[in-house]
Chain A
Amino acid sequence: MSKANASQSAPARQLLICCGTGCLANKAAAVAEALEAAIQAAGANAVVQPDALQLKRTGCNGFCENGPIVKIHPDDVSYYKVKPEHAEAIIASIGGEPYQALLYRGDDKQPVTRQQDNPFYAPQHKVALRNIGQIDPLAIEDYLTSGGYQALRKALAMPPARIIEEVIASGLRGRGGAGFPTGIKWQTCAGYQPTPKYVVCNGDEGDPGAFMDRSILEGDPHSVVEGLTIAALAIGAERGFFYIRDEYGLALHNVQAAIQAATAAGYLGDDILGSGRKLHLEIVRGGGAFVCGESTALMASIEGKVGEPRAKYVRSAERGLWDMPTVLNNVETLANIPYIIANGGAAYAKLGTEGSKGTKVFSLVGKVNRTGLVEVEMGATLRHLIYDIGGGIKRNRPFKAVQTGGPSGGCIPAEMLDLAVDFDSLTAKGAMMGSGGMIVMDDHDCMVEVARYYVNFLSEESCGKCTPCREGLRQMLRILTDITEGRGQQGDIELLERLANTIKDASLCALGKSAPNPVLSTIKHFRAEYEAHINEHSCPAGVCSALCVYTIAAESCTSCSACKRACPLGIISGEKGVPYSIDSERCIACGSCRDACRFDAVRPIKKERQVVAS
């Protein structure tokens, strides 16, 4: 992709176009081509000569809903939602007034030129994502220019124990979910004698809505390669693996290219930078099983076995891949390593909270105004994330809950918005950090349905090896489905709790042990909603289609016809000046009309209950 020649002096200006998966889906490739054409077309007449302008395709900027994003350096101008037809205007504006139509407009509707003034980016502190969006992931020169592989040079001059000390001093905890101290894991593994040892990078990101690992692998693959190489030096491994899910096509491509480039440049291979140390890295493609993100299932999968976890009474640091000492770290964890070695563990430990050092990348999605990838210091409050960075709830609806930590995380209610987010605070509230997913929900979300949704996901994605997880989830799913469809019975909540406690304690792996979290946390914080479903056969949020239908409140209806256009059944009628109405006999309560209405005129009412056989 990169047409830059590293040996030439860098052009005065860079045009950085985001080519992460999100932006590519929004035609970023066509935008890049249009920009290239526009540069050539402007030719000699342009203010900026073509050879003084370098077009660079970068990784994901994290603000995907506003992509494709184009940034101009060093002018520090950022454009959003760029289309190919904007190319000429962008090129013409270089060196002069920014092109107003494509600037971001914040909460006050004022245009924002610089990225660091954008309310989405301003509060962020980037460590793991430090290079993404600034460099061309396929150009190792770019990574080197931004300080890449300096940490590896430094590590090669350090005894392994010193590297480990530095990582321990940083306080870095594994970003994959469990939060185990990375340095301690390395130290444990380094202490075992048997060889060969292995290092593994876990890139099997599976939480719905989470994409921080994909973004790093796509946008800054060398940082992960460097991190993994430093881990290998620390424990004495000479072979390592990237386990990346096969759906991540661009990530696979970019990591493969990075391994090749790093090997060609001597940062990998039989003699790393002339040190005599070896490391060979290869990529294993995951087949799309959520459970293969669990470290022992992942290792079984690399070995060619069924992706089932094993009990961790003996840690992987002692007996992991092929029963040999193995260090497995998550993508984001490894991306932090070069920063820690280059700047020192103490510098990293200045960031974050007492028990959770550094920064964390969250994928903020759901009913917030600004969604995307955000990296903040540990200890940021949920309110800061959701209201300052996320810009609050869509259409100013009330915040109801946030699901943290992916499908097996927990729901945190509005009373806890001021919770400072770190590994321990989330666990204490019955949720978890997980890989950093944050799904924001408003008053149009039914918490019983949310629990049912996650349990359904987990019952399909459990490996199915042990009884409590597989059978417990099957039964919980059935009971939750009954409740959402009006067949809930007295005692169901207590039974769900009993099943949940057994699944939590007696399951084999972390998937099973955390699977009941969505059920337990919603029962804890939203018990009344469960009771309404069971006792009154009503869904207070107006979501469960077996329990409610929609009606249009005449006094609020402006006859704008938005609901009529949204209705998939065509059962909404009305005309200008007259309130619209819904044929409630045929309404399936899909919610399309309610989402479309800007005046809160569409309201759920309790469905007349027919006797439903259990």
Chain B
Amino acid sequence: MSQQLTITIDGKQCTCEKGEYLLDVAKRNGIFIPTLCHHEGLGGIGSCRVCICEVVARGRSQVVTSCIYPVEGEIEVFTKNERIKEQRAIILALLHHLAPASETISQMAAFMGADLPRLADKEGGEKCILCGRCTTACEQIGTGAIAKCGRGVTKEIATPYHQPTAECIGCAACANVCPTGEITCEQTDESVTIWGKTFEYLRCSCCGEPFATREQYEFAASKRHLPADPDTAAATGQDPEPLCEACEKRATAQRLAKNSIQFVVEP
């Protein structure tokens, strides 16, 4: 059993486990902290700095990033005092001028950003705020097809040398987690085009719906140590036929119901 701590957030007493991230504690206690780069499935990245809070620990005050700040002691937290409001406002104004075309950022900036007309839009800036969700997702899936390239003010998200890459499996996880809609993919019933490459969809052998790209299916199969090619897999009986998520679920349930009597409790 890990150690329980009591901390104060905006004057409210909150209990948490030692090591829990401040953002999670605040959220559980109904205290809103705005976020951009944080994603439930990916964890904290700590790059956008929108979730900053002021933490006073043992009389020392510092500004921390709540999505990656582990609570280690009895601290006092301010999520929206004057200091934090000012800094968050400036950060949102900076993001707004980095990604002037993003609706999401414009709205957030209008709501709590500073109005700083002296700042200039980034040349060529559209919607990307370089939060790193896409690269984190790509890395966690295990393909690493896109990465943050360059450094400083020229940093960008790209495939190696901006060329279509063999690593990309067309899963579009990057587009799904993008908070501003900068990453887009063109989808048809037959294919999806992303990062300069077109991928053909596989169809579910049961319902016939397109459900994954061939590369994505092969990548997942390789992770399960199955023959990469779905046709070979079907022929050897190791993986009967490509099924979409819903059909796969149904098939599994039926298999369990047929074979595993011990799971079935007779009324």
Tell me the A residues contacting B by CB distance below 8 Å.
Answer: 289, 291, 306-308, 310-311, 313-314, 458-468, 470-475, 477-479, 489, 491-492, 495, 498-499, 501-502, 505-508
Residue of A nearest to B149 (CB): A306
Distance in angstroms between the alpha carbons of A373 and B78 in the assembled complex: 46
- Interchain CA distance A185-B182 in the complex, whole Å: 43
CA distance A307 to B132 in the complex (A): 14
Choose from A463, A478, A492, A502 the contact partner of B87 (Cβ within 8 Å): A502
CA distance A18 to B97 in the complex (A): 53
Specify which of A464, A495, A508 lies most central, judged by the most chain B CB atoms within 10 Å of its CB.
Answer: A464
Task: Please give me the residue from chain A that is nearest to B64 by CB atom.
Answer: A313
Q: Does A489 lie within 8 Å of B118, measured CB to CB?
A: yes
B94 close to A (CB within 8 Å): yes
When C-beta atoms are compared, the residue in chain B nearest to A505 turns out to be B63
When distances are taken between beta carbons in the complex, the residues of chain B under 8 Å from A470 are: 130, 152-153, 155
In the complex, which of the residues A474, A477, A502 contacts B90, with contact meaning CB atoms closer than 8 Å? A502
* Nearest CB in chain B: distance from A410 CB, A: 20
Does B228 lie at the interface of the complex (its beta carbon under 8 Å from any beta carbon of A)?
A: no
Contact, CB under 8 Å: B148 / A479: no
Given contacts A465-B47, A471-B97, contact A491 B118 (CB under 8 A): yes
**Interface pair B94/A466, CB less than 8 Å apart:** no
CB atoms of B153 and A473 under 8 A apart? yes
| 41-55 of chain B: CB within 8 A of chain A | 46-50, 52
Q: Which A residues are CB-close (under 8 A) to B148?
A: 306, 308, 464-465
B72, B83, B153: residue with the most chain A Cβ atoms closer than 10 Å: B153
CA A473 – CA B87 in complex, angstroms?
Answer: 15
- What's the least CB distance linking B213 to chain A, in Å? 27
B98 contacts A by Cβ under 8 Å: yes
**B68 in contact (CB, < 8 A):** yes
In the complex the two chains form, what is the Cα distance from A479 to B49 in whole Å?
Answer: 23
Q: Tell me the complex Cα distance, A470–B119, Å.
A: 14
Task: Write the nearest CB–CB distance from B14 to chain A, whole angstroms.
Answer: 18
The minimal Cβ–Cβ distance linking A500 to chain B, given in whole angstroms, is 10
Instruction: Tell yes or no: B69 within 8 A of A by CB.
Output: yes
Q: Are A475 and B49 in contact (CB under 8 A)?
A: no
Listed from nearest, the 9 A-B pairs whose CB atoms lie closest are: A464-B155, A471-B94, A505-B63, A502-B90, A460-B152, A502-B87, A462-B152, A474-B153, A459-B153
Residues of B within 8 A of A468 (CB): 49, 87, 90-91, 94
- B46:A291 contact, CB within 8 angstroms: no
Q: Which residue from chain B places its CB closest to the CB of A463 in the assembled complex?
A: B151
Residues of chain A lying within 8 A (CB to CB) of residue B91: 467-468, 502, 506
Q: Which residue of B63, B97, B132, B152 contacts A475 across the interface (Cβ within 8 Å)?
A: B97
Q: From B114, which residue of chain A is reached at the shortest CB distance?
A: A498
Q: Which of B69, B130, B153, B155 contacts A313 (CB 8 A)?
A: B69
Q: If the complex has contacts A465-B47, A502-B86, are A475 and B151 also in contact, measured as CB distance less than 8 A?
A: no
Given A462-B153, A471-B97, A506–B63 Cβ distance below 8 Å?
yes
Does B152 contact A461, Cβ atoms closer than 8 Å? Answer: yes
Please indicate the chain A residues that have their CB under 8 angstroms from the CB of B86 in the complex.
498, 502
- Chain A residues positioned under 8 Å from B227 (CB to CB): none
CA distance A573 to B155 in the complex (A): 48
Q: Given A306-B148, A498-B90, 6 more contacts at CB 8 Å?
A: A311-B64, A462-B152, A464-B152, A478-B120, A495-B116, A507-B49
Q: Complex: how many Å from CA A508 to CA B51? A: 12
B118–A466 CB distance below 8 A? no
Residue of A459, A501, A507, A508 near B152 (CB, 8 A) is A459
Contacts of B48 in A (CB 8 A): 466-467
Residues of A near B122 (CB, < 8 A) are 474
Closest to A474 in B: B153
Cβ of B134 < 8 Å from any Cβ of A? no
User: What separation, in Å, do the CA atoms of A458 and B153 have in the docked complex?
Assistant: 9
B94 in contact with A465 (CB, 8 Å): no
Residues of A within 8 A of B63 (CB): 505-506
**Contact partners of A461 in chain B: CB under 8 A:** 151-152
With a cutoff of 8 Å between Cβ atoms, the chain A residues found around residue B155 in the complex are 463-465, 470
Q: Which residues of A contact B52 (CB under 8 A)?
A: 505-506
Cα-based distance from A498 to B151 in the complex (angstroms): 24
Residues of A within 8 A of B65 (CB): 311, 506, 508
- Note all chain B residues with C-beta closer than 8 A to A314: 70
- Complex contacts, A501 vs chain B, CB 8 Å: 87
Closest chain A CB from B133 CB (angstroms): 13
Interfacial chain A residues near B68, Cβ < 8 Å: 311, 313
- Residues in chain B near residue A478, CB distance under 8 A: 120
User: Which of A491, A499, A505: most chain B Cβ within 10 A?
Assistant: A505
| Any A CB within 8 A of the CB of B95 | yes
- A501 to B: closest C-beta gap in Å: 8
Task: State in angstroms the CA–CA spacing of A508 and B132 once bound together.
Answer: 14
Per-position 1/0 for B98-136, Cβ under 8 A of A: 100000000000000000101110100000011010000
Interchain CA distance A460-B154 in the complex, whole Å = 7
Instruction: Decide yes or no whether B147 CB sits under 8 A from chain A.
Output: yes
Chain A nearest CB, measured from B105 CB (Å): 11
Residue of A with least CB distance to B90? A502
Assembled-state Cα–Cα distance A393/B72 (Å): 51
B196 on the interface (CB 8 Å rule)?
no
Q: Are A466 and B153 in contact (CB under 8 A)?
A: no
Contact string against A for B residues 1-36, beta-carbon threshold 8 Å, 1 for contact and 0 otherwise: 000000000000000000000000000000000000
A-side contacts of B97, CB under 8 Å: 471, 475
Measured CB to CB, the nearest residue on chain A to B69 is A313
CA distance A595 to B267 in the complex (A): 99
Shortest Cβ distance from residue A280 to the other chain B in the assembled complex, whole angstroms = 30
Residue B237 CB within 8 A of the other chain:
no
The complex places the Cα of A463 from the Cα of B90 at a distance, in Å, of 20
22 residue pairs of the A-B complex, CB under 8 angstroms, read A289-B151, A311-B64, A311-B65, A313-B68, A463-B155, A464-B150, A464-B155, A466-B47, A466-B49, A468-B94, A471-B94, A473-B152, A474-B122, A475-B97, A477-B153, A492-B118, A498-B86, A502-B90, A506-B52, A507-B49, A508-B47, A508-B65
Contact with A along B230-253 (1 / 0, CB 8 A): 000000000000000000000000
Measured between beta carbons, the chain B residues less than 8 angstroms from A506 are 49, 52, 63, 65, 87, 91
By CB atoms of chain B within 10 A, which of A291, A311, A463 has the most?
A311
Asked if A462 contacts B87 (CB within 8 A), the reply is no
Instruction: Give per-residue flags for B59-80: 1 if the beta carbon is below 8 A from chain A beta carbons, else 0.
Output: 0000111001110100000000
Minimum CB–CB distance from B217 to chain A (whole Å) comes to 29
A464 B130 Cβ-Cβ under 8 A: yes
What distance in Å separates the Cβ of B145 from its nearest Cβ neighbour in chain A?
15
Compute how far the CA of A213 lies from the CA of B61 in the bound complex, rounded to whole angstroms. Answer: 34
Cα of A465 to Cα of B152 in the assembled complex, Å: 8
Closest to B83 in A: A505
- Docked Cα-Cα span, A217 to B47, in Å, equals 35
